[in-house]
Amino acid sequence: MARKLVSSNQKTVKITAGTVEKYLGTKRYRYDMANEKDEVGIATGLAWTPVGGDTLSIEVTLMEGKGSLELTGQLGDVMKESARAAMSYIRSKAEFYGIDKEFYSKYDIHIHVPEGAIPKDGPSAGITLATAMVSALTGKPVRKNVAMTGEITLRGRVLPIGGVKEKVLAAHRAGIDTIIIPAENKKDLDEIPENVRKAIKFVIAEDMETVLNTALAKNKAKSRQKSFSGEEKTAVPEVPPQMEELDHGTATIEQ
């Protein structure tokens, strides 16, 4: 700008969104945006990086098999352990969520986190992994406007994590308007800029029941599957009545 002013007769130079690329060059970085629609087996998590927060898309697909659990996307040991913990929790609650109790011996489960060239690790994706897996197993889509962060235990409790401010800002940038955080991280919301806090609904979760009640779409989703005989059929996964009667994102179920 300075060179242009001293080398021409111009008195002012105007920079707009349309001209900034002309001066700074092509964009070097891109940011993920929220999904365009509710999808089965895809949940949005939140991650902390040395340069700020980022969104993390976790995909789960089922295949006929013998119960193997495959994880891809350059995941670290802690994240793999979180996936196994999520699997054990779902097995223990399969009947409650309307999932075939023998699913682990009938299907292979493949969990993939895109952008495999980037190493990913940490426990904070635990509830996201569990949500994507329950979605795939029940056929209920995950709401596109929901992101989450939190560690999961074998009993389904949601444990606190770090980097809340950076994660929330990343979700806001991606167009997310509902974020699930652990109950013990509620105090960290004071660090979030006021304009961002007003734009986002925060759901405080102590357990996976609250997470799933918030994240899964309430409408029953029909999924096209092939039976073991090869004949194509329409499956409508059932969800226990208890889950449908809950107030959105606020209640806890006790058994």
Q: How many residues does the structure list for the chain?
A: 255
Candidate list 120, 140, 165, 167, residue with the active-site label? 167
Told to judge if 229 belongs to the known catalytic residues of this protein, a careful annotator would answer no
- Reply yes or no on whether the pLDDT at 153 is more than 90: yes
Decide: helix, strand or coil at residue 233. Answer: strand
pTM over 0.85: no
Q: Environment class of residue 6 by beta-carbon count within 10 Å: exposed (0-12), middle (13-18) or buried (19+)? A: exposed
Instruction: For residues 67 and 104, give the distance between their C-alpha atoms in angstroms, rounded to a whole number.
Output: 4
Told to judge if 4 belongs to the known catalytic residues of this protein, a careful annotator would answer no
Contact 140, 239 (CB under 8 A): yes
Candidate list 124, 135, 140, 165, residue with the active-site label? 124
CA distance to 54, 162, 185, 250, per residue, from 50 (Å):
10, 13, 20, 33
- Tell me the per-residue pLDDT of 199-239, one tens digit each, with 9 for 90 and over: 999 999 999 999 999 999 986 544 433 333 333 333 434 44
CATH of 33-245, one of 3.40.50.300, 3.50.50.60, 3.30.230.10, 1.10.10.10: 3.30.230.10
**What 8-state DSSP symbol labels residue 191?**
G
Lowest-pLDDT range of 4-18, 22-36, 75-89: 22-36
Contact 83, 111 (CB under 8 A): yes
Domain boundaries, the chain: 33-245
- Tell me the per-residue pLDDT of 108-119, one tens digit each, with 9 for 90 and over: 999 999 886 678
